[in-house]
A and B are shown apart, each in its own frame.
Chain A
Amino acid sequence: MTDDVRRQEQPLSGETPPFVQSALRVFDLSLSQMLWSRRTIFMVLVVGGPVIVAFILRALVLFAGDVDAGLLMSGSDLFGLMFWVFYLGIAVPLMGLFYGTALIADEVEDKTITYLFTRPISRGAVLVGKYLAYLVCTGFVVLPSLMIVFFLVTPLLGGSIGAGFPDLLNDLGLLAVGLAVYGAVFALAGAAVKRPLLAGLVFIFGWEPGVLMVPGYMKQFTVRYYMQGLAPHSMPADDSVLGSVLAFLQSAEVIPSTLMSLTGLAVILVGGLGLAIWLVERREYVLEQ
């Protein structure tokens, strides 16, 4: 048996609160709920991993003595590599996926969306409030994690905290932008698709890396393409023969300029979130019994 949930008519007795106030109210309610949910365990694992790796690296250098002659990179390079692989490659897209798709999909799955949408606030404000809670929740976990990794890894093997600090600021900003953009993309997926998690996983681990490897314009339809243009650290090189062939093929490819990257990310963010709001405002969610 199903029950159609339709938009509640505005109460006659009171006025609808303004959009921003409504969104902040939903944000207030959602933040704790989001922070202390089961997903927190996943989030701790994702951002705790790099911190543990950083501690291990630190211990290795501390106890192994003079290892700099045998290593290919300095502490700054190591940090850059960890930033690319762990944070931009894994943590940010995965968090955007798991939290972004859950903004609406979880409420539908838990059949609690009725209670949200029957409140005298716009549906868009619900989505925006939850999106803001997602940003704060993930941002306050990922950014301190990156900060700890920076201070653990950068001073190793001749690296300098002072010299690397501007890059850290850039990295922190990039993570925040990445969380915001991926969150918007997956909020749209959560609002539009029935199985958003599966679609998101295909997007992150199939579409984005696949399209980025192939020469052509299709990479403009990925988030990572625009993130590359803002990253101060060099991307880790693929040393395999296939990597060399791909690098040769891509030698004519253009990494987007800073302005183009910022514009691209802004378009994705505003477009994704705007479309998600538009969909949520109009769509009828059918709760399965």
Chain B
Amino acid sequence: MRQTRYFLLCASAVLLLGLCTGLFAYFNRGSALAVSVSGPLELAYVPAGATVVGYANVREVMLSNFRERIRQVAPDGVGQDALQEYLGLDIERDIDHVLAFMAPGGEGTPAGLVMFRGRFDVTRLEAAARRAGGTVSTYGDTRIVSAEAAEVGSLAMAFMQPGLVAVGDLPTVQQAVDRGDGGASLVDNAEMAALLEQVEDGSNAWAVGRFGDLNLLDVIPDDVLSRMPAVSFFAVSGRINGGLTGALMIEGRDEEAGQNLRDVFRGLMALAKMQTAAQPGLQTMLDSLRLGGTGALVTMSFWLPPEALDFIFSAPESGPAN
């Protein structure tokens, strides 16, 4: 029958067109990271073996009404005036975004680095470091200000590029400089690169990490680590825009671990819902929780409305009764 043939052809065409378009979109989608970090420059300084990598788009957060809520909690701007006076740094205006990582260090200690992208008064920063007893040296083509700190060894601040400052322990800073000159970095680690793909598009804060390597960092006691669930990877991302939307992805070591984690989250959610029935601010957040995932994967998304944020930020003011 002719109309049957036409119908089947049309339906096939819709399916084929959709599949081709989807496939094209899938292979040409921009990396979530590229959207958030305005280019992969900072990632070139992160070692391939990094355990945890985190990012925050300070500029976007400060432009949102979230800033007002921070001011409610910390009226003095978290030492903003002191920073402005000594370093000429206005956190709300001068810093665009922050990227930080932790990786296993050389002698069983964790190595960490925080990179700030923004507008900095380099002369003033160097002068402040000198006043505090720091010394300025050059490593390769990079100026590094370092100072001895009793407990953590040498702390250093490097001006990696115009508008990019890295702060961390001296060996880590020097390794980052070397890495920027063409060494292997996080983008060469397929496992972590795949994990970065899990970051939600448009997030202005995220963190990804490998739980398996946490014991190498030596920052969590062994007995705590042994009690932690069998998690391999995690990725958490959030977007602040009026409220706060967030997504969490956890990968268990196997399907059983994934199932256990989903069960734990499901039970906690149900318990929390029953206990917060009289608190509309938290109830809205709990209602927005969406738990999912199959196999070893656990996913959870949530949305905190502005009212819930008000409730949370007002909690410290209300005292322990709340």
B-binding residues in A (CB < 8 A): 31-32, 35-36, 68-69, 72-74, 77, 80, 136, 140-141, 143-144, 147-148, 150-151, 158, 160-163, 165-166, 168-169, 229-235, 237, 239, 241, 244-245, 247-248, 250-255, 257-258
Q: Which chain B residue lies CB-closest to A69?
A: B242
Tell me which residues across on chain A come within 8 A of B8, comparing CB atoms: 136, 140
Q: Within the complex, which residue of A73, A163, A248 is in contact with B29, where a contact is CB–CB below 8 Å?
A: A163
B292:A147 contact, CB within 8 angstroms: no
Tell me which residues across on chain A come within 8 A of B293, comparing CB atoms: 234
B3:A36 contact, CB within 8 angstroms: yes
B290:A234 contact, CB within 8 angstroms: yes
A237:B290 contact, CB within 8 angstroms: yes
B255:A257 contact, CB within 8 angstroms: yes
Interface centre among A136, A141, A162 (most CB of B within 10 A): A162
B264-296 at interface with A (beta carbon < 8 Å): 266-267, 269-271, 273-274, 277, 287-295
Q: Within the complex, which residue of B1, B22, B291, B294 is in contact with A230, where a contact is CB–CB below 8 Å?
A: B294
A77:B301 contact, CB within 8 angstroms: yes
Tell me which residues across on chain B come within 8 A of A72, comparing CB atoms: 287-288, 303
Name the prevailing secondary structure of the B interface residues.
Answer: helix
Tell me which residues across on chain B come within 8 A of A169, comparing CB atoms: 22
B109-168 at interface with A (beta carbon < 8 Å): none
A35 to B259, CA, bound (A): 42
A251:B1 contact, CB within 8 angstroms: no
Tell me which residues across on chain A come within 8 A of B315, comparing CB atoms: none
A158 to B269, CA, bound (A): 26
Q: Which chain A residue lies CB-closest to B28?
A: A162
Q: Which chain A residue lies CB-closest to B24?
A: A162
Q: Does B14 contact A (CB under 8 A)?
A: yes
Q: Within the complex, which residue of B7, B14, B26, B262 is in contact with A35, where a contact is CB–CB below 8 Å?
A: B7
A80 to B245, CA, bound (A): 17
Q: Which chain B residue lies CB-closest to A230?
A: B294
Tell me which residues across on chain A come within 8 A of B26, comparing CB atoms: 161-163, 165-166
Q: Does B15 contact A (CB under 8 A)?
A: yes
Tell me which residues across on chain A come within 8 A of B292, comparing CB atoms: 80, 232-235
Q: Which chain B residue lies CB-closest to A158?
A: B202
Tell me which residues across on chain B come within 8 A of A73, comparing CB atoms: 288, 290, 301, 303
A248 to B266, CA, bound (A): 7
Q: Which chain B residue lies CB-closest to A234?
A: B292
The minimal Cβ–Cβ distance linking B58 to chain A, given in whole angstroms, is 20
Q: Does B228 contact A (CB under 8 A)?
A: no
A158 with B201, Cβ < 8 A, contacts A241-B277, A250-B266 known: yes
The minimal Cβ–Cβ distance linking A120 to chain B, given in whole angstroms, is 24
Tell me which residues across on chain A come within 8 A of B289, comparing CB atoms: 237
A254 to B259, CA, bound (A): 7
A165 with B14, Cβ < 8 A, contacts A72-B288, A237-B290 known: no
The minimal Cβ–Cβ distance linking A242 to chain B, given in whole angstroms, is 11
B241:A143 contact, CB within 8 angstroms: no
Tell me which residues across on chain A come within 8 A of B266, comparing CB atoms: 247, 250-251
Q: Which chain A residue lies CB-closest to B22?
A: A165
B77-116 Cβ-contact flags toward A at 8 Å (1 or 0) = 0000000000000000000000000000000000000000
Q: Within the complex, which residue of B263, B274, B295, B303 is in contact with A254, where a contact is CB–CB below 8 Å?
A: B263
Tell me which residues across on chain A come within 8 A of B271, comparing CB atoms: 248
B22:A168 contact, CB within 8 angstroms: yes
The minimal Cβ–Cβ distance linking A33 to chain B, given in whole angstroms, is 9
Tell me which residues across on chain A come within 8 A of B306, comparing CB atoms: 69
A257:B14 contact, CB within 8 angstroms: no
Interface centre among B8, B12, B23, B266 (most CB of A within 10 A): B266
Q: Which chain B residue lies CB-closest to A249?
A: B270
A211 to B51, CA, bound (A): 44
B225-284 at interface with A (beta carbon < 8 Å): 239, 241-243, 245, 255, 259, 262-263, 266-267, 269-271, 273-274, 277
Q: Does B11 contact A (CB under 8 A)?
A: yes
